[in-house]
Amino acid sequence: MRRSALGRSWPNAIAVVLVIFFAFPVYWMVSTAFKKTTDIISKTPVFIPLNGTLEHFTTATGADQFWSFVANSFIVTVVAVAASLVIATAAAFAVTRMRFRGRKAFVLVVMVAQMAPWEVMSISIYMIVRDNDMLNSLVPLTLFYMMMVLPFTIWTLRGFMAAVPKELEESAMVDGCSRFQAFMRVIFPLLVPGLMSTSLFGFITAWNELPLVLVLNKATGPGTAQTLPLWLTSFQTTFGDDWGATMAASTLFALPVLVVFFLFQRKAVGGLTDGAVKG
Amino acid sequence: MAVQSEPVRAKSPGAGVGADAPKGVRPSAGPGLLSRSTPYLLLLPAVVATLALLCWPLVETVILSFQNLNKRQLILHQTEWNGFKNYTDQLTSSEFWHTTGRSVAFTALNVALIMVFGTLVGLLLDRLGKRMRLALQIALMLAWAMPFVAQTTVFTWLFDSRYGVVNWFLDKLGWHSMAAYNWYSSQLSTFFVIMLLLVWGSIPFVAFNMYAALTTIPKELYEAARLDGAGSYKVFTSVIFPTLKPFFLGTTFLEVIWIFKCFTQVYAINAGGPQRLTETLPVYAFIEGMGNQHYGVGAAIAVLTILMLSVLMSYYFRIIIKQEDEL
């Protein structure tokens, strides 16, 4: 395609501005976390922290029960995502490979459930959990996070499963596989990208969630069941003006998601956007 | 479903095709009761989870909304029914209607900004050279992958009154009165920060989808339009927009729903302050319900919010179904 030098340079100029706009907050978070306090509160912002320090990370990781909240977040997220993958795989298989009464209704419910107003249901969830004496426990959190990602997981896996030709499975069964074996040997390997993209989405959702944990697991003190988002909001209140520590804490919190995102990015983003837009 | 455009579908082949079982499927083999019930057994966990974890809280929200339930009743485990009082109280209170109006305006403005700029960024991605595109994609992904709570703390820091880099920058630009400006002191400026945060965090999703959709529009369509002498704007209105209409529709509605019910960013920036002036409906429901311990009232607000969402969703589903018919 023919394009003049001028015609090429203005998109690039806009792109540079956009790169700064989108990346700067993230850069500013990470760089502040490494800056000496004197640099953070200097009259002129220090844009490149040449003589950095790890002191803020020590403050953040040394904060009360930090590691137990890390563990809580990981347990809740991993269990919720794994459970939803198992449940969704079974459901998606039934929906794509079998014909039965109520199949369409089920698919419709899954679609609507993706828009569930979790944010406004926190009051009743609190009552339910309290009446069952489960406040300040990881169990209800895990269950609700699992439910939050389940409809999307079913929806996405259904799409991926429908893409696997039936003939592959049938020929495996002709060769003597049971239906389950045919599924495990033929369909499952082809589902891996789908499983990856949905787990990425689930990971972000569960890792991120604030409203429910804010309501259910407010209790502080030893052995409490807070997760990192809640820890981070209370950290910000406690450490107030200590922006270095707050940014170090935010960096530590964001890091796993950023890492997972970039690791899975190539395979996952296509499926992620695809599934989500079908929403 | 029809929300995604044809091209997006092509990205992961066959997604969405399975809405109707492929022809020639063996009706779940065998005459036995067991094999006939197999699909139901496979669906059972999903159905049980949905009933217990989604439907139950929904029903409970409705039940609570008809109760006079405050801190006292909560501690004493009392159930005091008070009919529609929570609803009539809300529907006649000016605060509720202010919050509703604010929520609607907030949603409309944010979604408009997100869609317009997201589309423009998507179009730009399509025009850029390889290296610049990669740079922009990485920047977008950084914003996209940042957890909400981390996003919020970073924006609070950027807009900090004393050491925030935004104030420093505005001061350097010659706007000296902004040097120590407290962004969280007024309704409009707090909303400005929240809006910037939401737009910043939401554009990547729209832009990536837009770009993915664009890459699959057949080149001949562009060429035909160019031969007819169409400029960029005309190409957009006569080729891109009509082709990607389902995409625009679907993404807009998703954003409407996400922004309308978004809680974390609005709450975590300034907890609905100053003077409760930045409360949107979900935050209002939360603060009335959990914060002020008027659980019944909070539930009523939640039900009203859900009703508004349902109206939006039904409108959306009608369009989808209509589109399916047209195809």
Residue B4 φ then ψ, to 5°: -80, 150
The residues of chain A that CATH labels 1.10.3720.10 are 63-273
Q: Sorting pLDDT into bands at 50, 70 and 90, what band is B9?
A: very low
Residue B294 φ then ψ, to 5°: -105, 75
Distance CA B50, CA B260 (A): 23
Cβ neighbours of A193 in B, within 8 Å: 12
Residue B81, strand partner residues: B67
Distance CA B235, CA B223 (A): 10
Cβ neighbours of A194 in B, within 8 Å: 12
Q: Sorting pLDDT into bands at 50, 70 and 90, what band is B31?
A: low
At B187-204, the pLDDT tens digits run 999 999 999 999 999 999
| Contact between A172 and A181 (Cβ < 8 Å) | yes
Tokens of B53: 């974890």
Q: Which residue has the tokens 């920036």?
A: B269
Residues 52-81 of A with CB under 8 A from B: none
Cβ neighbours of B145 in A, within 8 Å: 204, 254, 257-258, 261-262
Closest to A117 measured CA to CA, from B6, B118, B170, B305: B305
Closest to B36 measured CA to CA, from B45, B28, B26, B24: B28
In which residue ranges of chain A is pLDDT below 50? Answer: 1-2, 272-273, 275-279
At A102-123, the pLDDT tens digits run 898 898 889 889 888 898 899 9
pLDDT at B16 over 80: no
Q: Write out the E strands in B207-302.
A: none
pLDDT for position B216? 79
Q: Does A233 touch chain B (CB under 8 A)?
A: yes
pLDDT for position A6? 53
pLDDT for position A164? 83
Cβ neighbour number for residue A193 with a 10 Å cutoff: 16
Residue B294, strand partner residues: B70
B14 and A21 in contact by Cβ < 8 A? no
pLDDT for position A278? 41
Cβ neighbours of B263 in A, within 8 Å: 119, 210-211
Q: Sorting pLDDT into bands at 50, 70 and 90, what band is B118?
A: very high
pLDDT for position A8? 62
A91 and B151 in contact by Cβ < 8 A? no
Q: What is the CA radius of gyration of chain A?
A: 23
At B43-99, the pLDDT tens digits run 999 999 999 999 999 999 999 999 999 989 888 888 899 999 999 999 999 999 999
A210 and B309 in contact by Cβ < 8 A? no
B16 and A207 in contact by Cβ < 8 A? no
* pLDDT, chain B, mean: 86
pLDDT for position B313? 85
A107 and B129 in contact by Cβ < 8 A? no
A96 and B18 in contact by Cβ < 8 A? yes
In the three-class reduction of DSSP (H, G, I as helix; E, B as strand; rest coil), residue B111 is classed as helix
Residue B70, strand partner residues: B294
Distance CA A119, CA A205 (A): 13
Closest to A47 measured CA to CA, from A20, A26, A28: A28
Instruction: Write the CA distances from B65 to B289, B299, B300, integer angstroms.
Output: 10, 5, 4
CA B186 to chain centre: 25
* Helices A228-239 + A66-97 axis angle, to 10: 150
Tokens of B145: 């992958």
* Helices B56-64 + A122-131 axis angle, to 10: 100
Q: Helices marked H in chain B — which ranges?
A: 6-11, 33-50, 56-64, 71-75, 85-91, 94-127, 130-145, 148-158, 165-172, 187-214, 219-227, 232-235, 241-243, 245-260, 264-270, 281-286, 295-326
Q: What is the dihedral of CA A128, A131, A132, A133, to 10 degrees?
A: 120
Which of A124, A243, A261 is closest, CB to CB, to B57?
Answer: A124
| Contact between A121 and B65 (Cβ < 8 Å) | no
Distance in Å, alpha carbon of A189 to nearest chain B alpha carbon: 16
| Contact between A121 and B282 (Cβ < 8 Å) | no
Task: Provide the 8-state DSSP code for B83.
Answer: T
Longest CA pairwise span in chain B (Å): 82
Distance CA A212, CA B118 (A): 30
- Least CA distance to B263: which residue of chain A? A119
B138 and A233 in contact by Cβ < 8 A? no
B151 and A14 in contact by Cβ < 8 A? no
Q: Which residue has the tokens 């499975």?
A: A169
What region does B93 belong to: left with phi over 0, alpha with psi -120 to 50, or beta?
beta
Angle made by CA atoms A102, A106, A112, in degrees to the nearest 5? 145
More confident residue, B32 or B97: B97
Distance CA B29, CA B33 (A): 11
Mean pLDDT of B297-312: 93
In the CATH hierarchy, which fold is given to the domain comprising B99-277+306-326? MetI-like fold (1.10.3720)
Residue B226 φ then ψ, to 5°: -65, -40
Residue B67, strand partner residues: B81
CA B178 to chain centre: 32
At B257-294, the pLDDT tens digits run 999 999 999 999 988 889 899 999 999 999 999 889 99
Which of B263, B266, B295, B324 best probes binding to A when mutated, by most A CB atoms within 10 angstroms? B263
Cβ neighbours of B261 in A, within 8 Å: 117-120
Report percent pLDDT > 90 for chain B: 56
Cβ neighbours of A228 in B, within 8 Å: 149
Tokens of A272: 């992620």
Burial class (CB in 10 A: 0-12, 13-18, 19+), B275: exposed
Domain boundaries, chain B: 99-277+306-326
Buried b vs exposed e over A99-109: b needs ≥16 C-beta within 10 Å? ebeebeebbeb
Cβ neighbour number for residue A80 with a 10 Å cutoff: 26
CATH superfamily of A63-273: MetI-like (1.10.3720.10)
Distance CA A220, CA B110 (A): 36
Residues 255-274 of A with CB under 8 A from B: 257-258, 261-262, 265, 269-271, 273-274
| Contact between B173 and A234 (Cβ < 8 Å) | no
pLDDT for position B326? 63
Alpha carbon distance, N-terminus to C-terminus of chain B: 12
